[in-house]
Copies of this chain bind each other. A is one copy, B any other.
Amino acid sequence: MQFSKSTDYALHALLHLGHPDRHHNVGIKELSATLGVSESYLSKIMSKLRQDGIVRAVPGVNGGYELARPAEQITFLDVIQVIEGRQQMFECSNSKSQQHQLLAEEGAAQPDRKRPGQGECLVEQVMEGAQQHLYQYLREHTIQSVLDEAFKRRHQEANKK
């Protein structure tokens, strides 16, 4: 139950691209050097981000990457789902087992067979609730919000002195 390193790389790369006084594309060389990751590996990640419309890529001289939309419209959830995929965080593997029948209708004398697909797993439902909570939080944090926080701190630092 851990986020992959790729997600880490992706988030940091986007922060770099979102840096305000940057007016040109950023090549994989610069990104790679800044993050301390190999060019080979990082380009795979950037390709994914491009395929999902998070960044734009330009080949050729002076090419590189740039954000495809404003940094405040790139949420943590966006990035995570591109890299980690969009599967459910939890899947109940024994929906057909005796367990669910016991929980759903245990002791119930009447065999009520009118709603077939209704037997959803209660464990799964709790976990889906957890996922929704997590996702909501991740939607509320964006590349821009991190940049803002960084600059706010730098400012506080300067004032304190």
A residues sitting closer than 8 Å to B (CB atoms) are: 1-5, 7-9, 11-12, 15-16, 19, 33-37, 76, 80, 84-85, 87-94, 96-99, 102-108, 110, 112, 122-123, 126-127, 129-130, 133-134, 137-138, 141, 146-147, 149-150, 153-154, 157-158, 161
Judging by beta carbons under 8 Å apart, are A98 and B1 in contact? no
Among B15, B80, B92, B122, contact of A150 (Cβ-Cβ < 8 Å): B122
Q: From A149, which residue of chain B is reached at the shortest CB distance?
A: B122
Q: Known: A8-B93, A34-B98, A92-B8. Is A108-B3 also a contact (CB below 8 A)? A: no
Which of B97, B112, B130 touches A138 (beta carbons < 8 Å)? B130
Interface of A, secondary structure class, is: helix
Given A122-B149, A130-B134, A112 and B35 touching (CB < 8 A)? no
- B123→A11 contact, CB < 8 A: yes
**Residue contact B2 to A154, C-beta cutoff 8 Å:** no
Contact among B90, B102, B110 with A3 in the assembled complex (CB-CB below 8 Å): B90
Tell whether A94 pairs with B141 under 8 Å between CB atoms, given A1-B3, A146-B123: no
New contact pairs (7) apart from A3-B90, A9-B93, A108-B154, CB-CB < 8 Å: A1-B85, A8-B123, A33-B98, A36-B96, A36-B97, A130-B134, A130-B137
Are A99 and B2 in contact, with the CB atoms below 8 A?
Answer: no
Cβ–Cβ contact A123 & B12, under 8 A: yes
Docked CA distance A89–B137 (Å): 15
